[in-house]
Amino acid sequence: MAERRVGAATVLEGTGVVGVVTERDVMEKVVAAGGDPNTTRVRDIMSSPALSVSVNTSVATAAELMRKHHIRHLVVLDEHETLVGMLALRYLLYDLMDDMERLHGRVMNLQKHFGQANEDLQQILISAEKVEKRASRIREVEFEGEEACEPAVSIPVPARLAAGG
């Protein structure tokens, strides 16, 4: 594993997966226990049975399986149960972080649009209050013998909305 710079390896018996051995297994079950890495058998320290996923498993499902079982590696099998590879938690995290960055960008874009809509709505509400005050004053005025003609009332609309934007 050190030579190939990997943190885990799938243990096969023939073509069938029988377990997984990790750097942590070697450190905890051999080195820390005072054992000899040269004479300790992989079979004695591997995790078995190995948890696996198919090549069609979603990132979220694989991450949930790892979280649930407190593991950092999953065996990946094809539709014929043949070993395809090993999935490490760090690669799932990279993928999930990419998804989070994309979602963050979308949220920021939505906030920008909703922020502008909120500002426009505030301007309309302020204008509506002004119109209501003017209408209230007009109703209070008594016109004796003359026909009253209410002045035209307009509500200012933000230019961006008036233009259809």
pLDDT per position as a tens digit, 50-95: 999 999 999 889 999 999 999 999 999 999 989 999 999 888 888 8
CA 53 to CA 17: how far, in whole Å? 12
Instruction: Name the band, by pLDDT with cuts 50, 70 and 90, for residue 145.
Output: very low
CA 107 to CA 115: how far, in whole Å? 12
Only one residue has tokens 């990279």, namely: 94
Only one residue has tokens 């609309």, namely: 157
- pTM for the model stands at 0.58
Contact at 8 Å (CB) between 131 and 153? yes
What's the mean pLDDT when you consider all of the chain?
83
Compute CA 163 distance to the chain's CA centroid, rounded to the nearest angstrom.
36
Superfamily of domain 8-94: CBS-domain (3.10.580.10)
Instruction: Name the band, by pLDDT with cuts 50, 70 and 90, for residue 109.
Output: confident
Q: How far is CA 161 from CA 70, 113, 120, 129, 153, in A?
A: 54, 13, 8, 19, 19
CA 2 to CA 30: how far, in whole Å? 15
Contact at 8 Å (CB) between 66 and 92? yes
